[in-house]
Amino acid sequence: SAVISQKPSRDICQRGTSLTIQCQVDSQVTMMFWYRQQPGQSLTLIATANQGSEATYESGFVIDKFPISRPNLTFSTLTVSNMSPEDSSIYLCSVGRGSNQPQHFGDGTRLSIL
Amino acid sequence: DAKTTQPTSMDCAEGRAANLPCNHSTISGNEYVYWYRQIHSQGPQYIIHGLKNNETNEMASLIITEDRKSSTLILPHATLRDTAVYYCIVRGPDSSYKLIFGSGTRLLVRP
């Protein structure tokens, strides 16, 4: 399976600021996804990161709050903008090669907003 | 995507088999059943997936009923390190291969 690296692994940020999270894969993948996991909750899909085009967002998530880039088949970024304490979560990147191959996850970015 | 129903929590003794059930009664013909687990402070780990035949790998076995409306993940000899939240997810091409997580089953393996 692909090796997925997320940076930073954790951060503590001030409210009103923005943070960009990076997801790097060691091989080319067709699909990349971003998830959020709020404290004590399951994972919620934020968006599908599309290479060369705008990300596809799930209901309840908007580009202004969570801009996503995917410049190539091995890299994506998620920005959490204008952060508030409610954004304190783990943000996870996952990758897949399409068809019915399994997706694999990074270990996430633990974000705390003061 | 078909929704899945799992028990909130289960426990089993170390060394015994852990059988985790999942109901997916509205599954469609081209949707696969995937199992993941999440150990505390880690990202979800892929375990196994299947369409209609039973599957086995080094981690677990997946038993899918003939009508495909339910499945069981079997950890044949549970260890303390298998304590985790286990997610059963149905996914197919119509969903653009997205994984939609439910609440999962919290499995506690007792010494």
User: Do B100 and A105 make contact, defined as CB atoms within 8 angstroms?
Assistant: no
pLDDT of residue B70: 97
Q: Which residues contact A103 (CB under 8 A, 6 or more apart)?
A: A31, A33, A94, A95, A96, B46, B97, B99
CA-to-CA dists, residue A113 to A25, A40, A93, B78, angstroms? 27, 17, 20, 38
How confident is the model over A88-105, as pLDDT tens digits?
999 999 998 877 889 999
Q: Is A9 on the interface with B (CB under 8 A)?
A: no
- Which of the residue ranges A55-64, A70-79, B49-58, B94-103 would you say has the lowest mean pLDDT? B94-103
How confident is the model over A7-22, as pLDDT tens digits?
999 999 999 999 999 9
Residue B1 scores a pLDDT above 70: no
Residues of A in contact with B100 (CB under 8 A): 45
